[in-house]
Chain A
Amino acid sequence: MKNLEVVCLVLGTFFFGVFGQLTHVMAQDSLLEQLKQEAPPMKDVALGTFKGTRLINGHSIMTRGAGNLDFMISHRFGRLNSGAYNFFGLDEANIRLGLEYAFTDRMTLGIGRNSFQKVYDGFVKYNLMQQQSGSKSIPLSLTWYSSMAINTFKRPELPLNFQRRLSYAHQLLMARKFSEHVSLQLMPSYVHQNLVPSREDKNDLIALGAGGSFKLTKRTSLNLEYYYRINPNKDNDSYNVFAIGFDIETGGHVFQLQLTNAQSMTETGFLPGTTGNFWDGDIHFGFNISRSFQLKENSKSW
């Protein structure tokens, strides 16, 4: 009995020994395969959800990396339906010049000056959450956006103190990159204007924006953007903002060309005050050009 037990053990040992050697040989054939399976999951952040920090008129969830300065030149020309005499709107141009600095990978502060209504604007943008997979799974990116605008247009018929010239906008930008080509964004928005045209008009406006980007090639994309205003002021000839755009990215530059019914380039302007009807041809051709400068190199890397 005892002998049998020993024999069994010896046989077992031999068997497992050979088996061990076999797996040894097999493993050698697929060293790389084995290694691939062992590779720990890394933090896999969704990159390049949108090409620009703007979707079209409004902001995208994108913020630039720490130490990056974006210089932005934006134009909205006159209306296409203003005819050949006005060169289809190109005779008339509104311009916004802006500077945006990324203090951290998540936070950007920006200032701008618009020729339309002589508006100065400032904003803060904070990336709360980044879409990622791998070691951590987060299905979408969230960015908070708040801006303030000061209308400095002279209106002698109306006494305007500083307070009355201010307006504010707040947005929660939510986006998901669904595939290499498709990214969608939702932007619940709130605008407060200290001054509105009449007593009946509301100072607060709530809107829901939706937009998306379809990447045509590695460096170009087609974009759409629409803001639905939930409580617009009645009898005041204003419309929801619609825009269609085309982005070209060439390394340090992003060129964004668009057709939109908005003339203003800040949320406090275009959300409550878009007077053009896109479907009647009140369309403005426009562009945003941004040029990136890395002022401070990421010292953690080098």
Chain B
Amino acid sequence: MKANLIVMMLCLIASPIYGQAFRTESSEVSFFSSAPLEDIKAKNEEVIGVFNGENGAIAFVVQIKGFRFAKSLMQEHFNENFMESEKYPRATFEGKVMDYDLGKSGEQEVRVKGTMSIHGESQEMEEVGTFEKKGEAIMMKAVFPIVLVDYNIAIPKILFQKIAEEVEVTVYFKFVEG
């Protein structure tokens, strides 16, 4: 009797902090921009995220220095001149996934609404993505544009042909419960 109570008590204390929480097991954020002189692309695996299956709350953190470019000099200039990654080391998103049914299997189209913070600037945004339940894991994918001036990322005139004013961002998360 006593032992049962203790176990019950421990169970309650140790109950997950945020209900049905899903964390990223693997994730990737990449971007692509097309400009007359050259295409610029980079990908980043230093991203973590959490998703609450009960209320749809979602958040992720991207380490800016984690973006890998094919050209190392481009990577240096991305961090030094555009993102100022020493001053703003992370980009974050916090928001809500609308109309997602956790019980349903297969691919579902969802709306994600929230606040994106990049380079010290925050913007409200609403984008469409897909959620897909695969066994225990939830796959999330979204492709959306980021307009650089919205986040106060300046492109010097001398480089205008090299860098587009809008970049296409692809976010891919694999969430598992825990």
Contact = CB atoms under 8 A, between A and B. Distances in A.
A259 to B, nearest CB: 25
Nearest to A38: B48
A35 B60 contact: yes
Interface in B46-87: 46, 48-50, 52, 55, 57-61, 63, 65-66, 68-73, 75-77, 79-81, 84-87
Interface residues of A, number: 46
A35 B24 CA distance: 11
Contacts of B132: none
A292 B57 contact: no
A42 B158 CA distance: 33
Between B68, B73, B79, B162, the greatest number of chain A beta carbons within 10 A of the residue's beta carbon is seen for B73
A301 B40 CA distance: 12
A28 B50 CA distance: 11
Interface string B1-44: 11001101100110101110000000000000000000001110
B12 A16 contact: yes
A294 B65 CA distance: 20
Contacts of B42: 301
Contacts of A65: 71-73, 75
B135 interface: no
B69 A292 contact: no
Interface string A154-180: 000000000000000000000000001
A13 B12 contact: yes
A206 B65 CA distance: 39
A199 interface: no
A12 B41 CA distance: 56
B61 A298 contact: no
Contacts of A44: 65, 89
A251 B75 contact: no
A17 to B, nearest CB: 4
Between B42, B70, B81, the greatest number of chain A beta carbons within 10 A of the residue's beta carbon is seen for B70
B20 to A, nearest CB: 11
A218 B17 contact: no
Given A16-B12, A38-B48, A302-B41, 15 more contacts: A5-B2, A6-B5, A9-B2, A16-B13, A28-B55, A31-B18, A32-B61, A36-B90, A42-B65, A47-B76, A68-B72, A219-B156, A294-B71, A301-B68, A302-B70
Interface of A: 5-6, 9-10, 12-13, 16-17, 19-20, 23-24, 27-28, 31-32, 34-36, 38-40, 42, 44-45, 47-48, 64-66, 68, 105, 180, 218-219, 249-252, 292, 294, 297-298, 300-302
22 contacts: A16-B9, A20-B12, A24-B19, A27-B18, A28-B18, A31-B94, A34-B17, A35-B61, A42-B63, A42-B65, A45-B65, A47-B65, A65-B75, A68-B71, A250-B158, A251-B77, A251-B159, A294-B72, A298-B68, A298-B70, A298-B71, A298-B72
Interface of B: 1-2, 5-6, 8-9, 12-13, 15, 17-19, 41-43, 46, 48-50, 52, 55, 57-61, 63, 65-66, 68-73, 75-77, 79-81, 84-87, 89-90, 92, 94, 156, 158-159, 162
